[in-house]
Amino acid sequence: MHLSDRIQALKISPIRRLIPYADEAKAKGKKVYHLNIGQPDIKTPDQYFEAIKNFRPNTVAYAVSQGIPQLREAMSNYYHGIGVDYDPSDIYVTCGGSEALSFAVMILCDPGDEILVPEPFYANYNTFARLALANLIPIPTKAEDAFHLPPAAEIEKLITPKTRAIWVSHPCNPTGVLYRPDEVAMLTGIAKKHDLFIIADEVYREFTYGQGSKAFMSFASIPEAMDRVIMIDSVSKRYSACGARIGCIAIKNKEFLAQVMKLCQGRLSVSAIEQAAAVGLYSTPKSYLEEVNKEYKLRRDVLYKGLKAIDGVVCHEPEGAFYTMVKLPVDDSEKFIIWMLQNFDINGETTMAAPGSGFYAAANKGLNEVRMAYVLKKEDLERALDILKNAIAAYPGRLEAIRA
């Protein structure tokens, strides 16, 4: 059987590849606190389910390829409400943010083309790039610098004739970094100078915890860059509706959107019932998002405080999304996670995180790092952190404390 080089080059998700070990632990009666996957436990708004109840067409037909007008209008109203000038004609609905990301890379890249991306980065970026036979070129960032960007000159050294875009998760999955306004301006300036696009993955926009100079600034808020900022968005995390699979791609560039339309037509349409339900989501009152933000800030504070209390851990206070990358004093974080699932528990309970190496381009990076998602309730987070602290102390492969 011949299988394509393209598919064989893809890697199993680092977020999910250790799930069999967790399943085995659960089968033996252990309780596993999952810090490895960004699945919110927040209640999905009632507006979603009400819209589904009211969806009663005589025939469930194909929807228009670019998305139903009511949803594009709702998305446009949302953007105008946050000061971003996207009209319905600038927005195409996609099957989640993942399809939007895949579309963006396929439109921009020929085989061998390059996209710059701050590293560590969301692991599936590798998948989308490799499916387009494109290459991700890391912009190195460090935990010791809270994963903020290096100076413009360092980034520009990475640009070659094959560079097509800069790809940014903002706020960032997996690091939790929120780029400062001067960093947003720097990247858009580099993009304009070198005629590049910016793929702005802003699906965690509502989960930011800073004020003033640390407040969130969208890449789409710079008018002169709107024709080269490819906005990627989704209802998944914002409205705790990951299974709805509704996202969008937006840009003030009609030539680019004409190419998006080709791909939208190729996959025919996004689910009609989910689009109708998403219209309901966009009618959710702002108070819902304010309460969710408050809850995640509480969880962020619990996680950060707990991590700082563990000897040898290097971490920073995450300012956005609901993730953080953490250095642990262990020889290999994947081995450590498997060891916790197989060999360690406290009163039948253990903890699971995602190995850090899967969020880097090179196989030898992030070996003693983990990504943690603070998507558990306060008391569960506290319990998970206590287990982690004791596990690190008992782990046979524990290293001397890593210097910050």
Mean pLDDT of 167-178: 97
* Percent of the chain topping pLDDT 70: 98
pLDDT at 42 over 80: yes
Displacement of CA 223 from its chain's centroid (Å) = 25
C-alpha span between 306 and 401 (Å, rounded): 16
Residue 253 near residue 92, CB atoms below 8 Å: no
Asked whether the predicted pLDDT for residue 280 surpasses 60, the reply is yes
Confidence category of residue 211, pLDDT binned at 50, 70, 90:
confident
- Under the banding of pLDDT at 50, 70 and 90, the label for residue 213 is low
pLDDT of residue 403: 41
Q: How confident is the model at residue 282 (pLDDT cuts 50, 70, 90)?
A: very high
Report pLDDT for 397: 94
CA distance 254 to 236: 27
The Cα diameter of the chain in Å comes to: 67
* Backbone torsions φ then ψ of 231, nearest 5 degrees: -80, 125
Please report, for the chain, how many H helices and E strands are present, in that order. 13, 12
Q: Is 299 left (phi over 0), alpha (psi -120 to 50) or beta?
A: alpha
**What percent of the chain shows pLDDT beyond 90?**
91
Compute the mean pLDDT over every residue in the chain, rounded to the nearest whole number.
Answer: 95
pLDDT over threshold 90, residue 214? no
With 90 as the cut, is the pLDDT of residue 283 above it? yes
Residue 200, pLDDT above cutoff 60: yes
Q: Which residue has better confidence, 145 or 68?
A: 68
Q: What is the sign of the dihedral through the CA atoms of 304, 204, 17 and 144?
A: negative
Average pLDDT of the residues in 13-23? 87
Token pair recorded at residue 50: 């009400």
DSSP helix/strand/coil, 106: helix
Compare 38 and 161 and report the one with higher pLDDT: 161
| Residue 140 DSSP SS3 | strand
Does residue 404 carry a pLDDT above 70?
no
Residues 48-73 have pLDDT tens digits of 999 999 999 999 999 999 999 999 99
3-state SS, 346-397, equals: ECCEEEECEEHHHHCCCCCCCCCEEEEECCCCHHHHHHHHHHHHHHHHHCCC
Q: What is the DSSP string of 295-338?
A: HHHHHHHHHHHHHHTSTT-B-----BTTEEEEE-SBS-HHHHHH
- Confidence at residue 401, expressed as pLDDT on a 0 to 100 scale: 43
* Residue 190 · residue 166 · CB < 8 Å: yes
Task: Give, as one character, the DSSP assignment of residue 94.
Answer: E
Helix (H, G, I), strand (E, B) or coil at 214: helix
**Does the pLDDT of residue 125 top 60, yes or no?**
yes
Pick from 247, 200, 214: nearest CA to 320: 214
Q: What's the angle, vertex CA 261, arms to CA 8 and CA 185, rounded to 5?
A: 80
Contacts of 271 (CB under 8 A, 6+ apart): 63, 95, 245
In this predicted model, what pLDDT tens digit does every residue of 331-347 receive, in sequence order?
A: 999 999 999 999 999 99
Q: Which residue carries 């840009």 as its tokens?
A: 251
Q: Which residues pair with 327 in a beta bridge?
A: 314, 369
The pair phi, psi for residue 65, each rounded to 5°, is -60, -35
**Secondary structure letter of residue 399 according to DSSP:** P
pLDDT at 145 exceeding the cut of 70: yes
User: Which of 32, 117, 181 is CA-nearest to residue 361?
Assistant: 117
Look at residue 143 in the predicted model and tell me its pLDDT: 85
**Torsion angle of alpha carbons 328, 12, 323, 274, nearest 10°?**
-170
Q: Which range has the worst mean pLDDT, 15-19, 45-49, 109-113, 400-404?
A: 400-404
The pLDDT of 209-236, averaged and rounded, is: 92
Q: Is the pLDDT of residue 402 over 70?
A: no
Q: What is the mean pLDDT of residues 20-32?
A: 97
Strand ranges of the sheet holding 163-169, from the earlier edge strand across to the other edge: 91-94, 247-250, 229-234, 197-201, 163-169, 114-119, 135-140
Cα 244 from Cα 241, distance rounded (Å)? 5
Overall pTM > 0.85? yes
Extract the tokens encoding 83. Answer: 């000061």
Confidence label for 242 from pLDDT (cuts 50, 70 and 90): very high
pLDDT higher at 363 or 290: 290
